[in-house]
Structure 1
Amino acid sequence: MISQIEKQSAQEIKHFQNQKLIIQLAYVQANSLFYQNHFKKAGIDIQSVKTIDDLTQLPVTTKTDLQENNEDFFCVDPVEIIDFSNTSGTTGAPVNFGLTEEDLNRLAFNEAQSFSCAGIQKHDIVQLMTTMDRQFMAGLAYFLGIRKIGAGIIRTGAGVPALQWNSILLNKPTYLIAVPSFLLKMIVYAEKNNIDINNCSVKAAICIGEPLRNQDFSPSELAKRINAKWDIKLYSTYASTEMSTAFTECEFHQGGHAHPELIITEVLDEENKPVKPGEVGELTITTLGVKALPLVRFKTGDIVKIDYTSCPCGRNTNRVGPVLGRAQQMVKFKGTTLYPPAIHDILNAFKEIESHLIILHTNDIGTDEVTVKIVSQLFSNELIQNLKEKFQAKLRVIPNIELIASDELNKLVLSNNSRKPKWVIDKRK
């Protein structure tokens, strides 16, 4: 189900997106109160923006803009909104997003293209192990995308290993959509209940919310732990509510493919200038074809690099590499710059650690401090020493390490009935 534009040349894709960009800019200029004021304040005439290269003339849009001017972004009459979603509020106040009929069709097309990258076809059965309630756009998108492909869907929802395995053994899904760390709990349950996981129907999992790749695309420690026990293919996908678009790996696992019909990507430095190809910066996007709440040069907060080379799968689209971290969560710790995913990767390598939480805070002298809270039934001085050695070797710094009970950790990561667990809590001033 590969879109034809994705296999055209880079020049043809750029020409295609240039035309889409002009249409989208005219649309927001005519219908978005925010962008009318945003462009006017910057002294911008959108008629001068003819190509993607001209985007640098436009001011960026930030999450703060969205939070403070949420209603002014909407481009349609409220009566046209048929689905009401919002962001999770992981890094600030939640933002309301409405979707029109056209937006829902676009969302379905997006996930159908993304899941096609990972090999899902009409004959497959997909077990959807994520919530569709609580205004969670991603769960709805997964459902719509699978439906558009024509594959079977099992909506088991999140959690409960026993329920997931009962469904797998009964309904025989070929793909799972799940948070990868939960797959480890699935493995533990299977081992305790004599389930032969490598002889079940599941051949692959599309993993959300946690990284499966290092910056060189080698498997993360989490991916290694899963595949050490469960011989299934793991596909990484990256998305956000604001983008209404997903970037999913193909079988070559060299980054998540962008879809030219849906999104324009830029990578910007701290001064909002484009970085050189292959350099790291903040992913900035312009949505295409969105009717209710389109975004122009929106800074996602995610630090990435983009690969512009052709992929062996035949697609010539840009590929977004593994997220290095969130710009807001960059830590200057004891003279070293680091992001929480690097800490997660080290902790995931230790089988003795059942779960963990990273807390960022400010110490008495006003500098960043990092505390790691771990749940472990095999806690020992040897474990602590091994952890410290691994942190020193890989990050050159050692965070504070504290033992915490499982129920206490769950209260922290699922505070305020959040629909998404918060594995990083930023308490810095």
Structure 2
Amino acid sequence: MSHALAPGLENDRSASDLIKADFLPRERLRQVQDARLRNMVRLGFEKVPLYRQRFEAAGITPDDVQSVDDLSRLPFITKEDLRDAYPLGLFAAPMSEVVRLHASSGTTGRQVLVPYTRADLAVWTEAMVRTLTLSGVGPDDVVQNAYGYGLFTGGLGVHYAAEALGAAVIPISGGNAARQIAVMRDFGATVICSTPSFFLQLIDRAEEAGVELRGLRLRVGVFGAEPWSEEMRQRIQQAAGIEAFDIYGLAEIVGPGVAGECSVHRGLHVLEDLFFPEIIDPASGRPLPDGEEGELTLTTLAKQAMPMLRYRTGDITALEAGECPCGRTLRRMRRVSHRSDDLFIVRGVNVYPAQIESALLAVKGTLPHYQIVLTEEDGRERAEVQIEVTPDMFSDRIGVLEELQDNLTRKVAQAVGVHLDVRLVEPRSLARSEGKARRVLDQRNRPG
């Protein structure tokens, strides 16, 4: 396959050249999508046995897929398929053409191995350059990259794109909150890239160290790798005096860089010329129109080593059409409200952590640190929401705490449709995350 399908920075294309794709007229964008999709479908059919088997079972050939309108004829690929094919079963390129291997985090099960050719890395860098540009990052910035390096895609995905933009990169990786704050202050970081939960830890550590984040040069936060609410964004921006941007990606598709927010903050622009999005009904698999919420499904349009055709992400969102006030023509995806596999059930009611987070942080006196503990007593399941509250709440009279607890219990019940116990805990009493937050602690007895 020709590398010209998805040119990257190896051809000395500047960031200004790359972001032109964000503003393509929809008709032209559609032509690009259709041409790239035909190449991806043929590549998958010819090089990946699983795709060939699925196509034959469905009675279709690559010639039956001429445009994105034909995508619904293709079978889905799921994370279970990737795990079953571990490690090399979905590779479309020989190892002699693979120049890097990453892996998914494995937070929901066995990790998935993800290969990249040199052209794939160029596509990834292009995607992340465009994503960082959406967040207002440029050549004058100093980027403190606190995403993890290694098999996790976050660190290197941000690193090479920030360098390609001409920014100075501090490759500090995750962890060591005290050092992060010192480096942020001493190196003059203007951009922080991390999970939102880890940045909350940095806010705490800065307060302990007597460092006023609002007095530093820091102006932008680029946060991703886990769901987070609008209420969480407001808490972060208020505490640090920065503008917080949401980015989206997953290792199975490329890593970070599938979508990102612009300064309008009305959804994340999906880089549709590289990753084609669909929203489907999670139960039936039926495609849903723009504006309706469902499960995000992605098809790579320029991935050579491991093309993904209709990959079910498990993320629940909706697509919004229409030109953004920023001028981009790319459709926007709403902030991911939850993952289908984040679901837990309490007394027959489906509950997602993001629902609880929004309810908790909308109430004054709470801190953005919480955990949901699931237990089982005498065969009955119980969920307790533990939430840190501000120091002044614990120093106040008991009646105030009781009133806050009652208010939070009521707000959570309204949000999720079932009563959950809420327990107020002291500041800094819950464990902090140095990567993806673990919001649900399942202590229920399970057979086996």
TM-score over 0.5 (shorter chain) = yes
Letter in 1 for 2:114: F
Tell me the alpha carbon deviations over residues 202-255 of structure 1, each in whole angstroms, 9 at most, x when there is no partner: 111111234455xxxxxx221222222332111111111112142110010111
* Partner of residue 167, structure 2: 151
* Partner of residue 50, structure 1: 66
* Partner of residue 76, structure 2: 60
Letter in 1 for 2:260: T
Query: Of residues 399, 403, 421 in structure 2, which corresponds to 1:400?
Result: 421
* Partner of residue 321, structure 2: 308
Tell me the alpha carbon deviations over residues 51-87 of structure 1, each in whole angstroms, 9 at most, x when there is no partner: 1010111111111111112322111112322222111
Deviates further, 7-16 or 23-32: 7-16
Rate the CA distance shift 1:317–1:364 in 2: closer, same or farther, 3 A: farther
Q: What secondary structure, in the 3-state scheme, does the structure 2 residue paired with 1:283 have?
A: strand
1:176 is aligned to 2:186: no
Q: Structure 1 regions of 5+ residues with no counterpart?
A: 214-219
* Partner of residue 216, structure 1: none
Letter in 2 for 1:103: D
Deviation at 1:88, TM superposition (A): 1.1
* Partner of residue 298, structure 1: 311
Write the distance in 2 (CA, Å) between the matches of 1:328 and 1:183. Answer: 24
Write the distance in 2 (CA, Å) between the matches of 1:266 and 1:426. Answer: 32
Deviation at 1:426, TM superposition (A): 5.7
Write the distance in 2 (CA, Å) between the matches of 1:359 and 1:65. Answer: 31
Q: What secondary structure, in the 3-state scheme, does the structure 1 residue paired with 2:335 have?
A: coil
Rate the CA distance shift 1:194–1:114 in 2: closer, same or farther, 3 A: same
* Partner of residue 224, structure 1: 234
Write the distance in 1 (CA, Å) between the matches of 2:374 and 2:339. Answer: 13
Rate the CA distance shift 1:383–1:137 in 2: closer, same or farther, 3 A: same
Write the distance in 1 (CA, Å) between the matches of 2:373 and 2:316. Answer: 20
Write the distance in 2 (CA, Å) between the matches of 1:78 and 1:65. Answer: 20
Deviation at 1:198, TM superposition (A): 2.1
Query: Of residues 268, 281, 285 in structure 1, which corresponds to 2:298?
Result: 285
Q: Structure 2 regions of 5+ residues with no counterpart?
A: 1-15, 395-400
Q: 5 Å matches for 1:334-353?
A: 334=347, 336-349=349-362, 351-353=365-367
Rate the CA distance shift 1:369–1:110 in 2: closer, same or farther, 3 A: farther
Deviates further, 72-81 or 293-302: 72-81
Tell me the alpha carbon deviations over residues 257-298 of structure 1, each in whole angstroms, 9 at most, x when there is no partner: 111331110000021111122001100010121121111001
Cα contact 1:107–1:144 (8 A) shared by 2: no
1:256 is aligned to 2:268: yes
Query: Of residues 122, 125, 132 in structure 2, which corresponds to 1:115?
Result: 132
Letter in 2 for 1:355: H
Cα contact 2:366–2:387 (8 A) shared by 1: no
Taking only aligned residues, the RMSD between alpha carbons, in angstroms, comes to 2.8
Rate the CA distance shift 1:318–1:383 in 2: closer, same or farther, 3 A: same
Cα contact 1:329–1:426 (8 A) shared by 2: no
Write the distance in 2 (CA, Å) between the matches of 1:329 and 1:166. Answer: 35
Q: 5 Å matches for 1:378-397?
A: 381-397=402-418
Query: Of residues 236, 242, 248 in structure 2, which corresponds to 1:238?
Result: 248
Rate the CA distance shift 1:407–1:83 in 2: closer, same or farther, 3 A: farther
Q: 5 Å matches for 1:350-429?
A: 351-353=365-367, 355-359=369-373, 370-374=383-387, 381-401=402-422, 410=431, 420-425=436-441
Write the distance in 1 (CA, Å) between the matches of 2:306 and 2:442. Answer: 28
Q: What secondary structure, in the 3-state scheme, does the structure 2 residue paired with 1:195 have?
A: coil
Write the distance in 1 (CA, Å) between the matches of 2:307 and 2:440. Answer: 29
Query: Of residues 277, 281, 290 in structure 2, which corresponds to 1:265?
Result: 277
Rate the CA distance shift 1:276–1:123 in 2: closer, same or farther, 3 A: same
1:162 is aligned to 2:178: yes
* Partner of residue 27, structure 2: 11
Rate the CA distance shift 1:199–1:373 in 2: closer, same or farther, 3 A: closer
Write the distance in 2 (CA, Å) between the matches of 1:408 and 1:80. Answer: 49
* Partner of residue 96, structure 1: 113
TM norm structure 2: 0.84
Deviates further, 368-377 or 332-341: 368-377
TM norm structure 1: 0.88
Rate the CA distance shift 1:364–1:144 in 2: closer, same or farther, 3 A: farther
Write the distance in 2 (CA, Å) between the matches of 1:168 and 1:383. Answer: 35
Give the share of equivalent positions with the same residue, in percent. Answer: 27
Letter in 2 for 1:31: K
Deviation at 1:314, TM superposition (A): 1.0
Aligned residues: 416
Cα contact 1:5–1:260 (8 A) shared by 2: no
Write the distance in 2 (CA, Å) between the matches of 1:37 and 1:239. Answer: 28
